[in-house]
Amino acid sequence: MEESQSRAYIEFSHVTKTYRSGEVKINALSDISFQIGKGEICIIVGASGAGKTTLLNILGGMDTLSAGEVWLDGNNIAGYSRKQLTTYRRYEIGFVFQFYNLIQNLTALENVELASQICTRPLNPADVLDEVGLHEREGNFPSQLSGGEQQRVAIARALAKNPKLLLCDEPTGALDYNTGKTILKLLQDTCRKNNMTVVIVTHNLAICPMADRVIRVRSGQVESMHVNEHPTPVENIEW
Amino acid sequence: MIREILSSPGRFLAILLIVALGVGFYSGLCICQKTMISSMDRYWNKQNMYDVRLISTLGFDEDELQNIQKQSGVNVAEGGYFTDALASVSDAADGEEAVHIQSITEQVNVPELLQGRLPGAADECLADDAAFDEKDIGSTITVSSDNTKDTLDLLREKTFTITGICRSPLYMNAERGNTDIGSGRLSAYILVPQKAFDSDYYHEIYVDAVTDGQIYSTAYKKSVSMAKKALKKAALSAADTRYQKIMDDARSEAKVKIEDEMAVKKKEVLEEKLKQLKQLQTAQTAQTAGMTDSAASMSEAEIKKQIESKFAVSDEEMNRMIDDALADADLPDAPQITVLTRNENAAYAGFDSDASIVSSIAQIFPLFFFLVAALVCITTMTRMIEDDRAQIGIFKSLGYSNAAVMSKYFLYSGSAGILGGIGGYFAGIWLLPNAVWTGYATTYDLPGKPVYLFDLKLFLISLAVALLCTVFVTWIRCHEDLDCEAADLIRPKAPPIGKKILLERISPIWKKMSFLHKVTLRNLFRYKGRFLMMLIGISGCTALLVAGFGIRNIFMGLGNEQYGVYTLYDGAVSFTDPLTDRTRSSFEQDAAGMVRSIIYVSQHSGDIAASAGGSSSEITFTAMDTDTDSSQDDMNVDTQTSHFVNLEQGGQVLSLPADGEILLDLGMARSLKLKKGDQVRISGTDGECELTVSGIYENRLGNGAYISTETMEQCFEGGAADNAAFVLFPDDVQVHQAGKELLGASNVANVTLSQDNADRFTSSMEGLDYIIFVVILCAGALAFIVIYNLTNINISERMREIATVKVLGFYENEACAYVFRENTMLSVLSGAVGLLLGKCLLIFIVDRISLATLVLTPQVGIIGYAGSFVLTMLFSWLMQLFMRHRIAGIHMAESLKSVE
Ligand SMILES: Nc1ncnc2c1ncn2[C@@H]1O[C@H](COP(=O)(O)OP(=O)(O)OP(=O)(O)O)[C@@H](O)[C@H]1O
Ligand SMILES: [Mg+2]
């Protein structure tokens, strides 16, 4: 994919996020700038505490930034009001959490429905659950599902919203090799099929070949950015 | 600890407040009766209310008063005069009313001057604060010339200028008593200087005795009954002595009189005889000088002697003549002394039981608050302990004992309990008695503020209950968790497992529901404890409101119901004297055309008691005259009694009582525990009668009994004569105007309009609004605390869930709805339950308020129900509004960071 075509889609420009705990100031992100093109799979890697989650949260409109601009499809979300941010999250973003965050009192299907029922063009929740291989488990509550199954429900929930931008924080962190692979494949396929932009945060450097773009983060700054002209399909990656 | 409290002041405050509310209600209601009685006791002591009142048929002279004063156990004794008279107020055209005129006593029953000044001159007076107010000062009260000669002779002055308005300790309730003049009911009292009375003897002596204990206490009753006995003896012997003297005086007076009379007669006879003798002698001299005649020869001396012997009477004969003379003379009977105590004072007699009504309600209200307090505490502590699980586990693994770990929670809940308990106690024993005092001021003329009573026992009980609701439930709660192993504690507790609820099995309904409603329903059933707390709290709030509005509805409607449904006549006329044919026709001449119809009645008040025993009550007896025809063509004397009074029971019209029967009102029947067919004894001015209760008629306000004219005649002096009438005015006239015109008719003493009675009752009930206000406040506080506590805990527990929902893109409104929808649902459900509960509460309360003069039906009315429900929803909605910022403030990134 041509970089020039997709430059405008996501652009972080001199973004700084400062946490203040008492006297101490911690820069989770310090003057970070990068771009991601539309329809790309972008993997963000970095050590623990590098600022990956912070970055994703800001991109997802869940957190505010201290300085800089975040452009998405020509809009600066750094200047959004609370309500605009909510609308942004509602229609543009799908979020897969590091710790699933399913609602305990809802069945797998209902957790997906919870997301799909507020969107304008959702996918059919049951179909999405089927796609992630949980057709049989749709009536189960989260506590009755394994970690991997819960993660898949979380992904189904994000996908069902049919978002333009899918953000995944350590989607395979809690999963075994095979399940992780299935999930990643699902992400890759969906991205390709729906021309969805996917941002994946991970520790796992081995999966980098599947991405169109790999950004390495280190103490709140971009250490390196690397565009992969020929991403490898997930099934061909071994780790 | 302090940090813990400060970090979540809301939670701490919620426990504190609900405990305070419970304790406040409990202690306040418990102490009410005591406070009311102590306050009354203090007031009566301050005004030196009498303990014993002596009345003698002979009256008392100054010596006898001194004698009473000298008796041991007497603080002060003071004599007084009184009479009942028909009188009118200067600038009001209200007609004549029966007024009790009493001399001012300075040391006993001291009137409390409210406005104006004390009277100085004999033609000045203090007036009843219930009938007069500040603007009446300066107006005059004129004793009507229609009064009996005795009454008129007794009063030196006939016109009194009101110089001040007073409250008399003798008249602390609305009751002014009965009289044998006018309508039979006294409408007011006035207090005049002693010198306004022209009497040689005191009519009564009020004694302030040395007594023990508080009013109504056994000690008090005992000391009064002792004083009563001693005083009766002393008074009786003094009276007997005086009576003896009066009789001796009368006897010697009579003797002198008889002797005088005899002397006069003797002289007359002697003179007559001497005249005859002289004529005889002259005649003899003129006829034949030589003729001798025995008669003529009688000497003057002989005649004298003859007459002397003829008029000589034996002592016996003399005594007989004196007795005869005395029997004809207007001499008093042997003296009878009546000794009365405060029990014969209407306010004193009723206050005790009226004051106890409140404490009978005390049992149910607080129970309910305590239950909610315990639930609030338990949910809060559960939440706290769950928050701290890991920490507790660490402490335990470090070897701290259970007690050491628990102490934090005990301190937390205990301090909330103690602070709430103390605060609630002091607020409760101040606020509630005040509210009740103010409320009772509608029926009692209560002075100022009630006393502030501290009751140590109640205080300790309150604290104990407060601790039970906090520390004890914490202990139960802690045990559950602390019995776990440290390792289990360190591991996070699994969140409550999602479960299908019963409703889901009913597919058709479940499928039709919107997605979010399903979620709400499922959440509702997830936390049963909270569900229960909310249900109890909110339904309690609604129930309180329903009961409050219900009580208001009952009392406010009572006047109109009584005078719209049961008493049908527009006005009751009382005549200056019992009607004779002549006075009746002159009345009818005047009144013809003014009334649509009229029925004459004979009304007297007397006592009634069940023959089987039990207390007796005063009641007005009415005999309706269904025989009299009108003397005027255009005067419609209607003998159809049902046009004037509605005497029915359960929709069945009752027939008028025959001779030996009595129809009794429901309230009196209940208070005397009488039912149809029971025997009652009534006593009037002329004797007693045994009657059979032939029916009990429905009534709301006041009491009354209907008897036949024959029975009336037997029991009351002049009972057969009509002395009052019920009238219906023409439809097109204004009742007040019609009443005023009728008052002008001859022989009319007074006209009482039913409309006025209804209005007066309704306006006297306005003090109720104050109590209702307190109830609404408490209900509101209850709802707020419960909803706050619940929502607070709900939000902090479901932080992640709410954050997730927000990340998914729920707008603020939607996120709030997501959390609050179950609150709303529960509020609606609890509100509905509360409506039912409120009705039960009202039935309970009404059952406890059993006054003879009030028949209450526990009806709430649609407005009461609707108002309660709407207010509950409003409280719930306000609280949600207040909690919104909590939801808006949840930081998504932060809340979702940690491990579940
Ligand atoms: N609320 C906060 N207050 C203070 N510092 C914070 C806060 N959140 C994050 N940080 C700090 O910001 C830095 C970046 O944190 P972030 O969670 O983005 O790391 P990460 O790269 O996602 O790490 P990991 O791979 O462990 O998830 C860290 O040093 C962290 O300590
Ligand atoms: Mg992270």
Ligand nearest to the CA of A30: 1
Cβ–Cβ of A101/B893 closer than 8 Å?
no
Provide the residue type at B470 as one letter. T
| Residue (of B123, B126, B237, B219) closest to B171 by Cα position | B126
**pLDDT tens, residue by residue, B673-726:** 888 999 999 887 778 889 999 999 998 888 889 999 888 888 888 888 888 999
3-class state of residue B683 by DSSP: strand
3-class state of residue B716 by DSSP: coil
Q: What is the DSSP string of B404-464?
A: HHHHHHHHHHHHHHHHHHHHHHHHHHHHHHHHHHHHHTTTB---S-------HHHHHHHHH
Q: Are strands A24-36 and A197-202 parallel, antiparallel or unpaired?
A: unpaired
Provide the residue type at B789 as one letter. N
Residue A161: its chain B contacts at CB < 8 A?
808-809
The pLDDT of residue B186 is above 90: no
Q: Residue B496 has what pLDDT?
A: 58
pLDDT band at B110 (very low <50, low <70, confident <90, very high): very high
Which residue spans within B399-523 are E strands per DSSP? none
The pLDDT of residue B161 is above 80: yes
What is the mean pLDDT of each successive set of 10 residues along chain A, which is 239 residues long? 52 90 86 90 89 89 88 88 89 85 85 87 88 86 84 89 89 78 85 89 86 90 88 81
**pLDDT tens, residue by residue, B272-312:** 888 888 888 777 776 665 555 555 556 777 777 777 777 77
Mean pLDDT for chain B overall = 83
Contact between B348 and B60 under an 8 Å Cβ cutoff? The reply is no
Residues from B contacting A (CB-CB < 8 Å) are: 494-499, 515, 518-519, 522-523, 526, 800-801, 803-812, 814, 892-893, 896-900
Beta pairing partners, B748: B575
Distance CA B587, CA B573 (A): 11
Q: Which two tokens stand for residue A186?
A: 């699902």
Output the pTM of the full model.
Answer: 0.72
Distance CA A238, CA A206 (A): 8
**CA atoms B130, B133, B138, B139: torsion sign:** negative
The pLDDT of residue B363 is above 70: no
**Does the beta carbon of A48 sit less than 6 angstroms from any atom of ligand 1?**
yes
- Average pLDDT in the B548-553 region? 84
Question: Angle at CA B281, nearest 5°, toward B278 and B285?
Answer: 140
Q: Which two tokens stand for residue A202?
A: 């991970």
Cβ–Cβ of A63/B812 closer than 8 Å?
no
Q: Nearest-CA distance from B806 to chain A in Å?
A: 8
Element (H, E) at B877: helix B861-888
Distance CA B662, CA B658 (A): 8
Contact between B743 and B750 under an 8 Å Cβ cutoff? The reply is yes
The pLDDT of residue B581 is above 50: yes
Domain segments of chain B as ranges: 247-328, 369-447+459-556+765-895, 577-746
Q: Which two tokens stand for residue B265?
A: 């007669």
Q: Give, to the nearest 10 degrees, the angle between helix B389-397 and helix B473-482.
A: 60
Q: Residue A1 has what pLDDT?
A: 38
Q: Nearest-CA distance from B890 to chain A in Å?
A: 11
Would you give the distance in Å from CA B745 to the centre of its chain? 35
Domains and CATH numbers, chain A: 38-62+93-236 (3.40.50.300)
Cα of A47 vs centre of ligand 1, distance in Å, is 11
Closest approach atom of ligand 1 to CA A51: 18
Q: Which two tokens stand for residue B786?
A: 């419960």
Among residues 131-190 of chain A, which lie with CB inside 8 Å of chain B? 141-144, 157, 161
Chain A residue nearest residue B898, CA to CA: A99
According to DSSP, residue B687 is labeled E
The pLDDT of residue B538 is above 60: yes
Distance CA A55, CA B499 (A): 37
- Average pLDDT in the B327-350 region? 80
pLDDT band at B345 (very low <50, low <70, confident <90, very high): confident
The pLDDT of residue B183 is above 70: no
Q: Residue B631 has what pLDDT?
A: 74
Contact between A28 and A217 under an 8 Å Cβ cutoff? The reply is no
Cβ–Cβ of A107/B498 closer than 8 Å?
yes
Residue closest by Cα to atom 4 of ligand 1: A19
Radius of gyration of chain B (CA): 40
Say yes or no: A113 contacts chain B, CB-CB below 8 A: yes
Of A53, A99, A114, the CB nearest to B808: A114
3-class state of residue B250 by DSSP: helix
Bigger pLDDT: A106 or B163? B163
Element (H, E) at B2: helix B2-7
Q: Which residue has the tokens 């005063």?
A: B618
Cβ–Cβ of A105/B814 closer than 8 Å?
no
The pLDDT of residue B81 is above 90: yes
Phi and psi for B252 in degrees, rounded to 5? -70, -35
Of A53, A62, A106, the CB nearest to B807: A62
Closest approach atom of ligand 1 to CA A57: 18
- Average pLDDT in the B412-426 region? 92
Which residue spans within A47-196 are E strands per DSSP? 67-72, 75-76, 93-96, 165-169
Cβ–Cβ of A104/B811 closer than 8 Å?
no
pLDDT band at B51 (very low <50, low <70, confident <90, very high): very high
Cα of A202 vs centre of ligand 1, distance in Å, is 14
Q: Which residue has the tokens 């969906």?
A: A190
Element (H, E) at B253: helix B218-286
Residue closest by Cα to atom 5 of ligand 1: A19
Q: Are strands B82-89 and B97-103 parallel, antiparallel or unpaired?
A: antiparallel
**pLDDT tens, residue by residue, B495-519:** 556 666 666 677 777 777 777 777 7
**pLDDT tens, residue by residue, B833-862:** 999 999 998 888 888 776 677 788 888 889
Distance CA B237, CA A101 (A): 100
Cβ–Cβ of B809/A93 closer than 8 Å?
yes
Between the CA of residue B886 and those of B311, B791, B803, what are the distances in Å?
Answer: 120, 10, 12
